[in-house]
């Protein structure tokens, strides 16, 4: 049995929310609980419309793939689902010059009976809190670069470059964990960089330990905004209440928060600026 919450907020600076998230199946009917569940967080990259469209396409494509009957192994499920999302975004980007170069990060977690697997591309993250310790399970596909102060007066800054994304090339290489051991009390967190760029691991730990999943999502978003809210913030929290063959939801999820959106159109898609130092 598990409980979960998911929420997204555009933050305090960006003019729209280019993040997207999804939980599939969307609704659970009492007495007919599905035995598998998919959670997805995607963070769109691209000026104007592009990023928002790319992240939504990723979430929707993974959701559609999830609902197709299949007996694929987790590794094969992830490979095919991400390939389908990548292909769809890439194709769309070629058909409209305004969407050219759009892409998205994507981190997704699948719970099937009492087994968990996950896959990701980009710098959205999946963490696990176990025995009061928060551990990042994914490795960011990024490079850090320092930019010295410029003649135009821009201060020194650190730039994060996304090295892998969905939809920016015809093919994509994903990272995948096909089988993760699961313990009672484990809490999984999926999030976009708008959370971890603003909130420390210690603060995240405290929220996850002290609040049920749906409430934790809103607390985490509040914290990110209190610390600046410089980016869109998306979080999903899943708590394993007990282990059983038929993983069921303990209560209904948080209603979908309004998906807002957009970034500075001047920003190039692969660049993420953060704190001046
Ligand atoms: Ca972001």
- pLDDT 10s digits, 109-158: 999 888 899 999 999 999 999 999 999 999 999 998 887 777 777 777 78
- Give me the pLDDT at residue 156, please: 79
Instruction: State whether residue 135 is helix, strand or coil.
Output: strand
Please give the distance, rounded to the nearest whole angstrom, from the Cα atom of residue 5 to the centre of ligand 1: 19
41 is written with which tokens? 């967080």
Please give the distance, rounded to the nearest whole angstrom, from the Cα atom of residue 221 to the centre of ligand 1: 13
Please give the distance, rounded to the nearest whole angstrom, from the Cα atom of residue 156 to the centre of ligand 1: 21
The whole-number average pLDDT for the span 91-107 is 95
Please give the distance, rounded to the nearest whole angstrom, from the Cα atom of residue 180 to the centre of ligand 1: 26
Please give the distance, rounded to the nearest whole angstrom, from the Cα atom of residue 231 to the centre of ligand 1: 6
The whole-number average pLDDT for the span 172-187 is 94
What angle, 0 to 180 degrees and rounded to 10, lies between the N-to-C axes of helices 213-226 and 201-210? 150
- Give me the pLDDT at residue 33, please: 60
Calculate the CA 177 to chain-centre distance.
Answer: 16
Closest CA to 45 of 206, 272, 275, 252: 272
Please give the distance, rounded to the nearest whole angstrom, from the Cα atom of residue 179 to the centre of ligand 1: 28
Q: Are 235 and 191 in contact (CB under 8 A)?
A: yes
Please give the distance, rounded to the nearest whole angstrom, from the Cα atom of residue 276 to the centre of ligand 1: 17
- Give me the pLDDT at residue 152, please: 72
The whole-number average pLDDT for the span 45-54 is 87
Q: Which residue has the higher pLDDT, 159 or 172?
A: 172
Please give the distance, rounded to the nearest whole angstrom, from the Cα atom of residue 33 to the centre of ligand 1: 33
CA dihedral 241, 69, 105, 248 (to 10 degrees): -10
Taken as a whole, the chain contains a residue count of: 277
The whole-number average pLDDT for the span 153-176 is 90
Residue 254, phi then psi, degrees to nearest 5: -60, 135
220-267, pLDDT tens digit by residue?
999 999 999 999 999 999 999 998 766 777 654 444 443 333 333 333
- Give me the pLDDT at residue 253, please: 43
Please give the distance, rounded to the nearest whole angstrom, from the Cα atom of residue 193 to the centre of ligand 1: 5
Please give the distance, rounded to the nearest whole angstrom, from the Cα atom of residue 56 to the centre of ligand 1: 14
- Give me the pLDDT at residue 150, please: 75
Please give the distance, rounded to the nearest whole angstrom, from the Cα atom of residue 243 to the centre of ligand 1: 33
194 is written with which tokens? 């708008």
Please give the distance, rounded to the nearest whole angstrom, from the Cα atom of residue 21 to the centre of ligand 1: 13
Other Cβ atoms less than 10 A from the Cβ of 226: the count is 11
Looking at the chain, the whole-number percentage of residues with pLDDT higher than 90 is 72
Please give the distance, rounded to the nearest whole angstrom, from the Cα atom of residue 192 to the centre of ligand 1: 6
Q: Which residue has the higher pLDDT, 62 or 264?
A: 62
Please give the distance, rounded to the nearest whole angstrom, from the Cα atom of residue 126 to the centre of ligand 1: 14
Name residue, tokens 């892998």.
164
Please give the distance, rounded to the nearest whole angstrom, from the Cα atom of residue 83 to the centre of ligand 1: 22
The chain-wide mean pLDDT, for the chain, equals 87
184-220, pLDDT tens digit by residue?
999 999 999 999 999 999 999 999 999 999 999 999 9
Looking at the chain, the whole-number percentage of residues with pLDDT higher than 70 is 86
- Give me the pLDDT at residue 114, please: 81
228 is written with which tokens? 């600046």
155 is written with which tokens? 């201060």
- Give me the pLDDT at residue 250, please: 67
């Amino acid at each position: 049995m598990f409980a979960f919450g998911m929420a997204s907020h555009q933050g305090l600076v960006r003019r729209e929310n280019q993040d997207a998230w999804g939980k599939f199946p969307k609704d659970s009917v009492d007495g007919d609980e599905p035995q598998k569940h998919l959670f997805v967080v995607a963070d769109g990259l691209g000026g104007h419309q592009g990023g928002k469209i790319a992240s939504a396409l990723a979430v929707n494509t993974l959701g559609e793939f999830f609902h197709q009957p299949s007996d694929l192994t987790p590794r094969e499920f992830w490979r095919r689902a991400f390939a389908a999302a990548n292909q769809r975004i890439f194709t769309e980007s070629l058909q409209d010059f305004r969407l050219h170069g759009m892409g998205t990060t994507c981190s997704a977690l699948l719970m099937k009976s009492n087994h968990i697997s996950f896959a990701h591309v980009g710098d959205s993250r999946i963490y696990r809190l176990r025995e009061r310790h928060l551990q990042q399970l994914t490795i960011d596909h990024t490079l850090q670069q320092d930019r010295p102060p410029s003649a135009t007066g821009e201060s020194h800054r650190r730039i994060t470059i996304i090295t892998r994304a969905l939809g920016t090339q015809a093919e994509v290489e994903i990272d995948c964990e096909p089988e993760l051991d699961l313990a009672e009390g484990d809490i999984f967190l999926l999030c976009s960089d708008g959370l971890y760029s603003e909130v420390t691991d210690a603060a995240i730990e405290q929220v996850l330990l002290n609040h049920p999943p749906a409430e934790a999502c809103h607390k985490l978003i509040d914290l990110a905004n209190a610390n600046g809210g410089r980016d869109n913030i998306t979080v999903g929290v899943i708590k394993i209440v007990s282990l059983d063959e038929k993983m069921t939801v303990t209560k209904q999820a948080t209603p979908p928060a309004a998906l807002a959106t957009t970034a500075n159109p001047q920003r190039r898609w692969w660049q993420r600026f953060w704190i001046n130092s």
